[in-house]
Copies of this chain bind each other. A is one copy, B any other.
Amino acid sequence: MITVFTGGTGGAKLVQGLQQVVAPEDLTVIVNTGDDLEWWGLHVSPDIDSVLYSLAGLLSKDRGWGVEADSFRCLERMRQLEQPSWFGLGDLDLATHLTRTAMLRAGKSLSESTAELARRMGVRARILPMSDHRVSTMLETAKGRLTFQEYFVRERHQVDVTAVEFDGVERARPAPGVLAGIESAEAILFAPSNPVTSIGPILAVPGVRDALRRTNVPVAAVSPVVGGAAVSGPAAELMRMMGWPGSIAGIAEAYEDFLDVLVADSADGGEAERLNGSGLRVLCTNTIMTSADDRRALAQFVLHAAANPVETT
């Protein structure tokens, strides 16, 4: 049993690699829902969808989000009808949100809706939202208090952030299966996702971080930052805002209370050597996932590292 914590794009790629090397029934994916949004009246769960599409073989290779070869005719028409259009839902993608929203309105929980969507997409790995309760990642910025998608998509993360909050998280409970997924895992992995706004909301759900601290199984993370910058997105800036270094050292700090193994990119070999030791083992490999081979190789590397947390290379 392998349990993976993940957010959006980078995480979806690693999960795709893991699917190639782990039997789907042995794979549990715990997904950030802090950047879920109500859009055109529909419940959109961008990170869950990235994982679903990735595992269903539907994820757009060019964009890294949404459905491959999707069209945007409804979106263009919404713009003509003076509706907000900065969040890009494709015509095929829309079907996912319509279906999820219908399930939620019919009384299903988010985790039940996710399981049902996964089944209908032919995805056999277990995909769990972090919580069935609504948690909203909010950012205090130079342009005011923004939701994650307002910050990330509408403002293209080009505004300074002074604080991140997870609205509603104190009342949230882990979704069914999340704590069991931690407790029954043989290894726990953290995908190369932003530790502040992708993994941060999951860790903030009461009980999750404690379960990670308690577990005796190895916990390994793949760094989303390479050479002091995120592979994509604002991870480095947000890490510095949190008072952590905007480098692999920041990842080590973000997860210091439970992390056993950090997988960094070979480009960070020098810093990896400095961080190695004192409870954390840091291993280097290529972490840039361009091809399916890259994804599988990284998945194998991190699984091996997690399975052998005290071995030296």
Contacts and interface: CB of A to CB of B under 8 A. Distances in A.
Contact of A40 (B40, B83, B98): B98
A139 to B, nearest CB: 25
Contacts of A71: 71, 73, 91
Interface stretch (A5-13, A74-82, A217-225): A74-82
A33 to B, nearest CB: 20
A153 interface: no
A41 B80 CA distance: 22
Contacts of A121: 81
A262 interface: no
Interface in A24-42: 40-42
B78 A95 contact: yes
A41 B105 contact: yes
A254 to B, nearest CB: 36
A197 interface: no
A70 B76 CA distance: 12
Given A41-B105, A71-B71, A71-B73, A78 B99 contact: yes
Contacts of A21: none
A92 interface: yes
Interface in A90-105: 91-92, 94-96, 98-99, 101-102, 105
Interface of A: 40-42, 70-71, 73-74, 77-78, 80-83, 91-92, 94-96, 98-99, 101-102, 105, 117, 120-121
